[in-house]
Amino acid sequence: MIVLGIESSCDETAAAIVEDGRHIRSNIISSQIDIHKKYGGVVPEVASRKHIEMISPVVEEALEVANIDISQVDLIAATRGPGLIGSLLVGLSYGKALAFANNIDFVGVNHMEGHISANYLDTDLKPPFLSLVVSGGHTYLVHVKDYLSFEVIGRTRDDAAGEAYDKIARTMGLGYPGGPKIDNLAKLGQPTIDLPRVMLKEDHYDFSFSGLKTAVLNYINSQEMKGNEIVKEDLARSFQDAVLDVLVGKTMRLAKELNVKTIAVSGGVSANDGLRKRFEVLEAEENIKAYFPSKILSTDNAAMIGAAGYYQYKRQGVSDFSIKAVANLGL
Ligand code: KG4
Ligand code: ZN
């Protein structure tokens, strides 16, 4: 089955051809990072205008690279939320129109189910497993019992993990997006600064990253007031360790409680080398298997939407053309 995936929820316009929900035939991503970094973050109005410009060429390139004619596509799957409403509308409307005009089945896909499904691409991963989804907008610990059966056990109560990276990076003058910049600096530093592991020991699986952000801001202000120079590498490492201790600590605790041996990490923060290394060590030490998508499939892409759309279609059939984009769509 040939699926055309379309993704436009934030600042990437993306299209991909995925076969049987598992095999990538093409994966085209047009990133707007160079445009938004001038403003230090995504400007929604600018993002949707750029999506309108790019959607058609990106979809055409995905078909061309896969050597597929639109008449050979069995299903079109487009992201319907969560995300920026103006951005979502571009990909969703385009997908619906393309499906309608060519008499192709259509599904609207949840972006977070897409992130979870990124780990199905070109791997042997099958439910059940525990999924840690860490993106720019969301942090979820999800028990994936079957392809479409999710139990959300933990979520962030304020900032998402990626959002915390982006905000701290901005304060440190590192630019947007902050995740990769802090990750690279952290490799050169030592964890010399004492920062809180918020909610690590608490008796639930929710997260909170705003207290850590405040602690970093207080540290920066107090050092500046004392006239001390801030060692950016050490600050990046200390911040990253505080984030990873909580993410990894809570994930492992829940895996033990559920007696689940397979953990799948996804979302933009799963591109983090520090996080990948921690799970590599845990695989060797504990009896678990950890899946990470390739880096290009960690951040936003349309192949993951194609994979999620395939399993949704297999179990629930098509979506009605009347479905709407939902900015705050939950899992
Ligand atoms: O999943 P994603 O592409 O978009 C959303 O759905 O939000 O995630 C983007 C987030 C940004 O906050 C970015 O800073 C973060 O992922 N990110 C990283 C790394 N690469 C991207 N965070 C930490 N380390 C990285 N290497
Ligand atoms: Zn995302």
- Name the helix (H) or strand (E) containing 263: strand 262-266
Over its length of 331 residues, how does the chain's per-residue pLDDT go in tens digits? 999 999 999 999 999 999 999 999 999 999 998 888 888 888 999 999 999 999 999 999 999 999 999 999 999 999 999 999 999 999 999 999 999 999 999 999 999 999 999 999 999 999 999 999 999 999 999 999 999 999 999 999 999 999 999 999 999 999 888 999 999 999 999 999 999 999 999 999 999 999 999 999 999 999 999 999 999 999 999 999 999 999 999 999 999 999 999 999 999 999 999 999 999 999 999 999 999 999 999 999 999 999 999 999 999 999 999 999 999 999 9
Closest ligand 1 atom to the C-alpha of 165? 14
Q: Which of 135, 237, 301 to mutate to test the pocket of ligand 1 (most atoms within 8 A of CB)?
A: 135
Which atom of ligand 1 is found nearest the CA of 273?
26
Q: Whose CA is nearest to atom 19 of ligand 1?
A: 179
Pocket-testing residue among 165, 167, 168, 244, ligand 1, by greatest number of atoms within 8 A of Cβ = 165
Give the whole-angstrom CA distance, residue 264 versus residue 69.
33
pTM as predicted? 0.97
SS3 of residue 328 by DSSP: coil
Measured distance CA(329)–CA(300) in Å, rounded:
17
Q: Which residues line ligand 1 (CB under 6 A)?
A: 10, 135-137, 162, 165-166, 177-180, 183, 267-269, 271-272, 299-300
Ligand 1 centroid to Cα of residue 30, in Å, is: 16
Ligand nearest to the CA of residue 299, numbered in listed order: 1
| Contacts by residues 290-294 (CB-CB < 8 Å, ≥ 24 positions apart) | 290/263, 290/264, 290/265, 291/119, 291/123, 291/125, 291/129, 291/262, 291/263, 291/264, 291/265, 292/119, 292/264, 292/265, 292/266, 293/118, 293/119, 293/121, 293/266
- Which of the 8 DSSP states describes residue 132? E
User: If you ran DSSP here, which 8-state letter would residue 109 be given?
Assistant: E
Q: Is 70 helix (H, G, I), strand (E, B) or coil?
A: helix
